[in-house]
Chains A and B, each alone.
Chain A
Amino acid sequence: MSIAVYDRKVSFQEIYQSVEKKAYYQKLTTLVSIGAILLYFVFSIIQFDLGSISRKWSPERASRLFLDTYAHKDHVVMNWKDTSKISVNFEGDYRYQYPSFPEWLERIGDGKDIAILTFNSGSKAIFRDDKIIFEQSKSEDRKFIFGIGDNGKPYAEAYDNDGNEKDLPNWIRVTESKVEVRPSLYERIQIYKRKVEVHRYEFGWKYFWFDFFSPLKDYSLPEALSLIFSNERIEPDKTNFELVLSEISDNEQWMHGTVLFSILETLLMAVLGTLLASLLGLPLAFLAAYNITPFKFIRFSLRRLFDMLRGIDMIIWCLIFVRSFGPGLFTGIFAIAFTDTGTLGKLMSEAIENADNKQQEGVKSTGASTILQHRFGIIPQIMPVFISQSLYYLESNTRGAVILGAMGAGGIGLQLLGAIRTGNDFENVGYMAVLIVLLVTVMDQMSAFLRRFLIGIEKN
């Protein structure tokens, strides 16, 4: 190039111009491509109606769900007709009714005041037979009165310290049939025409180890564990060890036993699927490699088989298998095994074809049979690739098995789908999400460790 330039004796000006021209075009291409991407964004925002996010997204609902993942709540319900009965239950479930008032709810016998509820922040809700008085513990010390008016509709009033009426703050919403009061995330009062419902939130997962009906429900985990070593039996027909274990695994709210079993199911799906794929894929790969198999017909048909197995997606295999094997592990195992046999077969047959044939010739020169030639000439060369690829697939199949589970193959994916669809057990959703992330991370670390241990790749 440079010789040609000297031959033509071009001036510096010309070289400079050509370089400048090139730079100009480069700049133009960059600008045009950035512009095209921006145009595409505008097009997509219109196409997918991304503006609908702001309309559909209700921050209130989201924050309540998020709150539900790390906090629990107790419901206090009072009927206006029969104010002597106040029911207190856990998470609003009528089965989890507290037999007596908890310590934050104080019953007062005298006439109009029925009970005082103390929130975590120190604010108080006083139950009366015709209204609820809410006293905020903030510096202003304001007072609110909610009740049912003469016209049968719920009302809300706000007073300052001197008893003067004030405007309602924006966290009180009054509609025809309901007054909704939410002074903070952890406090909520709803006044309906027929009843009043107070939600009192507290941080943490309650009844995580032992459920509401368990004989151990008042024990913390360390206390329960120390029970194992004590001689006194809680239940006469069971040892304490058995009791603690069975109470934890049969926990009705958190379902530790079921959840752990479904985690194992998902893991089994991934491991068995990958194992079957590699056990099938390696021999088939040998048959599909041209330096091993002389028959063109076998090679060709195996190649097309790999293409078909690989091309039909894992989800479609899952849909086909779920019809024949029913919902369960086999569906997931075979969906994974079929797809990955195709992928591994293709990869490994290419690796075998690319293997150095000098080693094979060396083994051949000692008079070894064909099988021994392959065993000592080719397998040692492809083994590291095979192991590392299988481990990579194991890693990604763990993720895949969670998704296959939601599509009908059982396991933790199905549990998660169920928990989200019920819509009020978001603490369980959070718990399962954490477990899934843990499972995926552990499998990642383990496969990285095994890869290092078996093949000894140093980190580049």
Chain B
Amino acid sequence: MCPKKRGTLLLLKKNYFMSQNAITIESLEENLKVLARQRAIYSVLFIGAIIFIVVSGVGVANQYNAGSFTRGVENFFDYPADLFSDAFEAGWGWFGIVLSFIPALFETFSAAVFSTVVGASIALILCPLATINLSPNQVTVQIVRRTFDILRSFPELVFALILLYLMGKSIVPAIIAVTLHTIGAMGKLFSEAIENIDMKPVDGLKSVGARWYQIICFAVYPQVLPLVLSYSLLRLEINVRASTILGFVGAGGIGAYLTASLQWRYGDEVLAIMFLLVATITALDYFSSYVRHKLIGKISA
């Protein structure tokens, strides 16, 4: 992760070698001046480009936006204020509303858990085939890797919308879509993790005549298991969000209730669902970072 070299350093090296035949202090200073000027030009260009993108982008956005920017800024607090006043009117009953959405939240959450477990298991089974140091042949490596790439680059939404159209409204299309995306994303991470393992246990098992699947089971998986668990937890968090969004376009769960409440403008219900979502995602965030720190501590120890 940690970067070692920087672009300017490379540039300096190149210029240094070019003028190597006569290194004097003057030539070095000259060189430095040229570099400083180049750098200044680059920074000005970079800042100019950023200002250009922001200004022209905001202009384009303002032109094609349904509402205007200034009015939007003025009205920004209206909607949250509406939500809170609705919830305040509901009084203590609001907590009852929160509780009433817990079954729907559980449905979305368990869909996310299920797709994470299935996706991670399939990715774990496939990823030894996608690593150069373990795969039986190079063609398999390329095929499996490209499959991961394709699965990863399709947003879940595309899969889910098509499946929803084919299978009718239920949570099953969301599960399939999220699982497919999870396979792609996890497959890539796992195969990268496997590429970096210590090969000594593999050689040891090979030397006693172990079969391929035995090598994978006893020399590869034990090394990557903590990483696999921590990635899976991270992925679970992402998948909870994803299945909520897919519920929003028709796949049931808490997302479906959210759409309904938004359309009926029941501010108290909207706020209750938002509260539940934020609470779940934050809790998962803390839980997964706690477990990951423990697991990673285990790896480094």
The chain A residues found within 8 Å of chain B, CB to CB, are 37, 40-41, 44, 47-50, 52-53, 56-58, 61-62, 65, 265, 268, 271-272, 275-276, 279, 307, 311-316, 319-321, 323-331, 333, 384-385, 388, 399, 402-403, 406-407, 410, 413, 416-417, 420, 423, 429, 433, 436-437, 440-441, 444, 453-458, 460
| Residues from chain A with Cβ under 8 Å of B277 in the complex | 313, 316
The answer to whether A311 and B53 touch across the interface, beta carbons within 8 angstroms, is no
Within 8 A of A (CB), among B67-94: 67, 69, 72-73, 75-76, 78-80
Task: State how many angstroms separate the Cβ of B192 from the closest Cβ of chain A.
Answer: 9
Distance of A341 Cα from B4 Cα, bound (Å): 27
Distance of A186 Cα from B51 Cα, bound (Å): 54
Does B126 sit within 8 A of A, measured CB to CB? no
Does B298 sit within 8 A of A, measured CB to CB? no
Chain A interface: which of B15-23, B25-33, B204-212, B243-251? B243-251
Minimum CB distance partner of A319 in chain B? B262
The answer to whether B241 and A315 touch across the interface, beta carbons within 8 angstroms, is yes
The answer to whether B241 and A313 touch across the interface, beta carbons within 8 angstroms, is yes
**What sequence of 0s and 1s flags, for each residue 250-274 of chain B, a beta carbon within 8 Å of any chain A beta carbon?**
0000000010001000000010001
| Residues from chain B with Cβ under 8 Å of A416 in the complex | 157-158, 161
Cβ-defined partner of A48 (8 Å) among B117, B158, B171, B241: B171
The answer to whether A326 and B278 touch across the interface, beta carbons within 8 angstroms, is no
Within 8 A of A (CB), among B24-70: 50, 53-54, 57-58, 60-62, 64-67, 69
Cβ-defined partner of B65 (8 Å) among A325, A406, A407, A423: A325
| Residues from chain B with Cβ under 8 Å of A321 in the complex | 72
The answer to whether A272 and B155 touch across the interface, beta carbons within 8 angstroms, is no
Minimum CB distance partner of A327 in chain B? B66
Distance of A416 Cα from B155 Cα, bound (Å): 12
Does B281 sit within 8 A of A, measured CB to CB? yes
| Residues from chain B with Cβ under 8 Å of A331 in the complex | 65
The answer to whether B281 and A413 touch across the interface, beta carbons within 8 angstroms, is no
Distance of A440 Cα from B157 Cα, bound (Å): 14
Within 8 A of A (CB), among B118-168: 118, 121, 149-150, 153-158, 161-162, 165-168
| Residues from chain B with Cβ under 8 Å of A320 in the complex | 79-80
| Residues from chain A with Cβ under 8 Å of B67 in the complex | 324-326, 328, 330
| Residues from chain B with Cβ under 8 Å of A326 in the complex | 65-67, 72
Minimum CB distance partner of A430 in chain B? B162
Known: A328-B65, A453-B7. A316 touches B278 (CB 8 A): yes
The answer to whether A328 and B61 touch across the interface, beta carbons within 8 angstroms, is yes
Cβ-defined partner of A433 (8 Å) among B65, B78, B149, B158: B158
Distance of A429 Cα from B61 Cα, bound (Å): 25
Cβ-defined partner of A399 (8 Å) among B62, B155, B167, B274: B155
Does B301 sit within 8 A of A, measured CB to CB? no
Known: A62-B166, A324-B75, A407-B245. A456 touches B5 (CB 8 A): yes
Known: A272-B58, A315-B241, A329-B64. A57 touches B114 (CB 8 A): no
Minimum CB distance partner of B262 in chain A? A319
Known: A272-B53, A324-B76, A324-B78. A56 touches B69 (CB 8 A): no
Minimum CB distance partner of B3 in chain A? A384
| Residues from chain B with Cβ under 8 Å of A433 in the complex | 154, 158
Does B223 sit within 8 A of A, measured CB to CB? no
The answer to whether A329 and B241 touch across the interface, beta carbons within 8 angstroms, is no
The answer to whether A437 and B278 touch across the interface, beta carbons within 8 angstroms, is no
Task: State how many angstroms separate the Cβ of A413 from the closest Cβ of chain B.
Answer: 7
Minimum CB distance partner of A314 in chain B? B241
Cβ-defined partner of A444 (8 Å) among B153, B155, B175: B153
Does B197 sit within 8 A of A, measured CB to CB? no
A interface majority secondary structure: helix
| Residues from chain B with Cβ under 8 Å of A323 in the complex | 75, 78-79
Cβ-defined partner of B69 (8 Å) among A48, A271, A325: A325
Best-buried of A325, A429, A436, A460 by chain B (most CB within 10 Å): A325
Known: A320-B79, A454-B7, A456-B3. A313 touches B278 (CB 8 A): yes
Does B170 sit within 8 A of A, measured CB to CB? yes
The chain B residues found within 8 Å of chain A, CB to CB, are 3-7, 9-10, 50, 53-54, 57-58, 60-62, 64-67, 69, 72-73, 75-76, 78-80, 110-111, 114, 117-118, 121, 149-150, 153-158, 161-162, 165-168, 170-172, 175, 196, 241, 244-245, 248-249, 258, 262, 270, 274, 277-278, 281-282, 285
| Residues from chain A with Cβ under 8 Å of B241 in the complex | 313-315
| Residues from chain A with Cβ under 8 Å of B54 in the complex | 272, 275-276
| Residues from chain B with Cβ under 8 Å of A315 in the complex | 241, 244-245, 248
19 of the cross-chain contacts (CB-CB < 8 Å) are A53-B167, A65-B165, A268-B60, A268-B61, A272-B53, A275-B54, A311-B282, A315-B245, A319-B274, A320-B79, A324-B73, A324-B78, A325-B65, A325-B72, A330-B65, A403-B245, A407-B248, A454-B7, A457-B3
| Residues from chain A with Cβ under 8 Å of B150 in the complex | 437
The answer to whether A330 and B6 touch across the interface, beta carbons within 8 angstroms, is no
Task: State how many angstroms separate the Cβ of B15 from the closest Cβ of chain A.
Answer: 16
Task: State how many angstroms separate the Cβ of A438 from the closest Cβ of chain B.
Answer: 9
Known: A388-B3, A429-B162, A456-B3. A49 touches B61 (CB 8 A): no
Distance of A173 Cα from B6 Cα, bound (Å): 70
| Residues from chain B with Cβ under 8 Å of A41 in the complex | 117-118
The answer to whether A265 and B167 touch across the interface, beta carbons within 8 angstroms, is no
The answer to whether B53 and A271 touch across the interface, beta carbons within 8 angstroms, is yes
Known: A52-B172, A311-B282, A457-B4. A420 touches B155 (CB 8 A): no
Task: State how many angstroms separate the Cβ of B259 from the closest Cβ of chain A.
Answer: 10
Minimum CB distance partner of B166 in chain A? A62
| Residues from chain A with Cβ under 8 Å of B155 in the complex | 399, 402-403, 436, 440
Best-buried of B54, B72, B78, B270 by chain A (most CB within 10 Å): B72
Distance of A449 Cα from B25 Cα, bound (Å): 36
The answer to whether B110 and A47 touch across the interface, beta carbons within 8 angstroms, is yes
| Residues from chain B with Cβ under 8 Å of A40 in the complex | 114, 117
Distance of A428 Cα from B53 Cα, bound (Å): 30
| Residues from chain A with Cβ under 8 Å of B170 in the complex | 49, 52, 56
Distance of A49 Cα from B4 Cα, bound (Å): 52
